Structure 1
Amino acid sequence: MTAPAPGSDGKAGPAAQHYAAPMYEPEAPVGYVAPGMPGAPAPYAYAPLPPSARRRPNAVAAVAAALGGMLAGALAYGFLTKALDREFGWLVIGLAAAVAWPLGKLGGRNPVLPVVGSLLAALSLLLGQFFGVTLYLHELTGASVGELFGPQFDLTVEGWKATLEPLDALFYGIAVFEGFVFTRRTAG
């Protein structure tokens, strides 16, 4: 209760009354946790898949997709080498990722796939360098790319040997290492 306040005529009016109204609390079942509160289950728009319906790792599909990634990476590396007129060895990390991502995601935790990933990453760098040299030789000699990868492949190999540097050994090592590590990291 509060004290009465005097009115305009100086006399005290009725005292203000304060009532405590009980809050409305509906009956909740025992163990019920309201949504949004700690311990409440997450709302699912769908039921989780049973273990029998989940996607199983497929090593054959993983290797096939990694071969596609290897070829695409090698072509991109060769075109980039020719377009920029220099070699970028650090792009081997991207080549390793292009090979390792499908291996890890599609193949799962197969213990052979990291080794395959390291070999395909190094092969991608090798094919990319061959393709870049082939594009240079095509410009210089006028021979078609098919001829330089076919009957005149020895000319392509000699051109590749002429462009090798000691730093290329480091980049092949990085390709092998990152191909292995990326494949293991993406496996899940």
Structure 2
Amino acid sequence: MSQSYPPPQQPQQPYGAPLPQYGAPAPAPAPSGNPGLGIAVGVVVMLVVAGIYGAILKATDGATIGYAALIIGALIGAAMGKLGGRNAALPVVAAVLGLIGLYLGNIFGIGLAVADYLHVSVFEALFKDFDILNEGWKKALEPVDALFFILAAAGGFSAAKKTAD
């Protein structure tokens, strides 16, 4: 005669302890990113894209490119979000850096053109006559430029939020 035995009993678990057959619950994700590093890299990216944008402006004889403003902000924000993580201040900082990057790109483009026209170094045009470059930039502003600055800020803000880990 065969005898049937009841299935083995699971050892009693204290209240709230994970059940062995299902495994332990996944631990809460640790915060990722380093906001300080994100901001530092954002500043570096801002300077690089401002230089590239200034060179593009010089090459196109000052023809502004609307989507370039959005790209400037988005590149800054993407770098900040990837390295900075989910810090609430990073999208705001990325928006501000997008504005500054667009401004510096415009000034650099004007500086390149002035240096070429006066046959001086770019550094001399930028640093010796910065007030003249800034005044020239202000006089050349048009209402559509406000839209470009909005795009740069929005690109930075949005990209920083979307790329944060």
Identify the TM-score tier after normalising by the shorter chain: 0.7 to 0.9
Are 1:78 and 2:28 counterparts? no
Matching residue's letter, 1:154: D
State the secondary structure of the residue aligned to 1:111. coil
Conserved in 1, the CA contact under 8 Å of 2:46 and 2:98? yes
Q: Distance in 2 between matches of 1:131 and 1:104?
A: 26
Tell which deviates more after alignment, 129-138 or 139-148: 139-148
Are 1:150 and 2:127 counterparts? yes
Conserved in 2, the CA contact under 8 Å of 1:95 and 1:125? yes
Query: 2:34 pairs with 52, 55, 58, which one?
Result: 58
Q: Distance in 2 between matches of 1:58 and 1:132?
A: 33
Deviation at 1:165, TM superposition (A): 1.2
Give the 5 Å matches for 1:88-99.
88-99=65-76
Partner in structure 2 of residue 129 of structure 1: 106
Q: Distance in 1 between matches of 2:99 and 2:139?
A: 19
Q: Distance in 1 between matches of 2:157 and 2:127?
A: 31
Partner in structure 1 of residue 21 of structure 2: none
* Change in 2 beyond 3 A, CA 1:73/1:176: same
Could you tell me the percent identity over the aligned residues?
Answer: 38
More helix by share: 2
Q: Distance in 2 between matches of 1:180 and 1:162?
A: 28
Q: Distance in 2 between matches of 1:176 and 1:92?
A: 9
Query: 1:165 pairs with 125, 131, 142, which one?
Result: 142
Q: Distance in 2 between matches of 1:145 and 1:167?
A: 28
Deviation at 1:55, TM superposition (A): 8.2
* Structure of greater relative contact order (alpha carbons < 8 Å, 6+ residues apart): 2
State the secondary structure of the residue aligned to 1:103. helix
Conserved in 1, the CA contact under 8 Å of 2:41 and 2:80? yes
CA RMSD between the two structures: 2.1
Partner in structure 1 of residue 84 of structure 2: 107
Unaligned stretches of 5+ in structure 2?
A: 1-25
TM-score under structure 1 length normalisation: 0.68
Aligned residues: 139
Deviation at 1:142, TM superposition (A): 2.1
Conserved in 2, the CA contact under 8 Å of 1:148 and 1:155? no
